[in-house]
C-alpha cells in the first residue's frame, strides 16, 4: 500500500527560492541590515528570519522576499519561532 502525502500548493504570490537564490537573498538582506541582528545587534550566528512566518496563512504569505526577511541571530530567531508557535517567552 502506498501512502501519498498531500503537498500543499503555495499561494500564487508566495515566493519559494532555490538554495542558491536563498543564499543570495540572505546576503542582500544582511547587507541591508548591516550584518547584525535587528533585535539585539549580535553579529554572530546570523540567519535569515521572516517577518511574516512561512507557516502563517497556509503558505499564502509573501515568503522568501527581501521585504519579508530580516537579519536575526539564531537566539532571536528561535525566540521569534517560539513566539509564533504560541509558546510563552521565558
By CB under 5 A, what part of segment 53-82 binds Zn ion? Answer: 73, 76
Contact flag: residue 42 with Zn ion (CB under 5 A): yes
Element (H, E) at 78: helix 74-84
Question: Nearer to Zn ion by C-beta: 33 or 39?
Answer: 39
Q: Binding Zn ion by CB under 5 A: which of 16, 40, 51, 58?
A: 40
- Say if CB 40 and CB 76 are below 8 A apart: yes
- Least distance in angstroms from the C-beta of 7 to Zn ion: 33
Between CA 9 and CA 84 the distance in angstroms is: 22
Amino acid at each position: 500500500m502506498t501512502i501519498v502525502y498531500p503537498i500543499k500548493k503555495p499561494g500564487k504570490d508566495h515566493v519559494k527560492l532555490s538554495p542558491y537564490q536563498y543564499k543570495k537573498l540572505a546576503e542582500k538582506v544582511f547587507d541591508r541590515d548591516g550584518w547584525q541582528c535587528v533585535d539585539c545587534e549580535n553579529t554572530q550566528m546570523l540567519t535569515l528570519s521572516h517577518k511574516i512566518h512561512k507557516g502563517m496563512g497556509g503558505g499564502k504569505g509573501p515568503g522568501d522576499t527581501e521585504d519579508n526577511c530580516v537579519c536575526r541571530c539564531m537566539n532571536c530567531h528561535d525566540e521569534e519561532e517560539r513566539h509564533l508557535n504560541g509558546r510563552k517567552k521565558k
